Amino acid sequence: MRVLVVEDHTELADSITRVLRREGLAVDTAYGGRTALDLILEVDYDVVILDRDLPDVHGDKVCAELATEGVRTKVLMLTASSSIADRVEGLGLGADDYLAKPFAWAELLARTRTLGRRAHPVRRAELVRGPLRLDPARRTASHAGTQLPLTAKEFGVLEYLLGARGRTVATDELLAKVWDEVADPSTTTVKATVNRLRTKLVDRSVIQTVPGEGYRI
């Protein structure tokens, strides 16, 4: 899942980014509304965690511009106000969910994952292809009944390939959806991760390499 954190308080923004990355999400960070809009129009994010009270371009305006541009990214709006009126107004501007500060990390993560699943409604709660099973909610995966001890990136690659339902996924697409802005697109990080993932499967051939195109299950 690719997430953008938009928060002008750098310490809070960096803390949110660290927490979400630790949970296996690919996270970019913007410290202002204008930068956020540029990134959102360039990168296909699943979820944007958006502070409402941004100093340069207000969070309300960011939401309005996303709607104008037809961007379907899910928006979790953060605000220091917990009043029902503000919450209703924020949702009316196009936000998909609303969370008042201060918040618990567990709730932020749960709401982000929920919005991420809503961003891909065609995917079932559990992804299954033959003997390969993956449960995004429980963060578990198994192959032919054997539990797979996957790292966060290995899990992300497997989840994305299973969600593609047999479609060939380009390396650049995997890099964009599973990694984030700190990844070096010139490296072989995707290939290395796929190779490590293959060694943990009961049958390495489950993940096929399509020469010149990418990978598929």
**pLDDT at residue 49, as a whole number:** 97
Domain range for 171 is 127-216
**pLDDT at residue 176, as a whole number:** 82
**pLDDT at residue 43, as a whole number:** 86
Same-domain check for residues 41 and 89? yes
Integer angstrom CA distances of residue 133 from 10, 27, 114, 144, 166: 39, 25, 20, 8, 14
Same-domain check for residues 157 and 81? no
Same-domain check for residues 113 and 34? yes
Distance CA 41, CA 39 (A): 5
Q: Which two tokens stand for residue 217?
A: 């299950």
**pLDDT at residue 82, as a whole number:** 62
Q: How many domains does the chain divide into? A: 2
Say if CB 99 and CB 108 are below 8 A apart: yes
Mean pLDDT by 10 residues, the chain (217 residues): 94 96 90 93 91 91 84 89 63 80 93 84 71 88 93 91 92 86 73 94 93 93
CATH code for the domain in which residue 211 is found: 1.10.10.10
Same-domain check for residues 28 and 92? yes
Same-domain check for residues 135 and 182? yes
**pLDDT at residue 68, as a whole number:** 78
**pLDDT at residue 121, as a whole number:** 54
Integer angstrom CA distances of residue 69 from 52, 65, 73, 162: 19, 6, 11, 30
Same-domain check for residues 113 and 131? no
The residues with which 133 forms a beta bridge, in sequence order, are: 128, 142
Same-domain check for residues 197 and 146? yes
**pLDDT at residue 136, as a whole number:** 83
**pLDDT at residue 139, as a whole number:** 84
Which residue type sits at 47? Answer: V
Q: Which of 203, 198, 178 is nearest to 189 (CA)?
A: 178
**pLDDT at residue 149, as a whole number:** 93
2-6 and 47-51 strand pairing? parallel
CATH code for the domain in which residue 70 is found: 3.40.50.2300
**pLDDT at residue 24, as a whole number:** 83
Ramachandran assignment for 212, one of left (phi > 0), alpha (psi -120 to 50 degrees), beta (any other): left
**pLDDT at residue 200, as a whole number:** 94
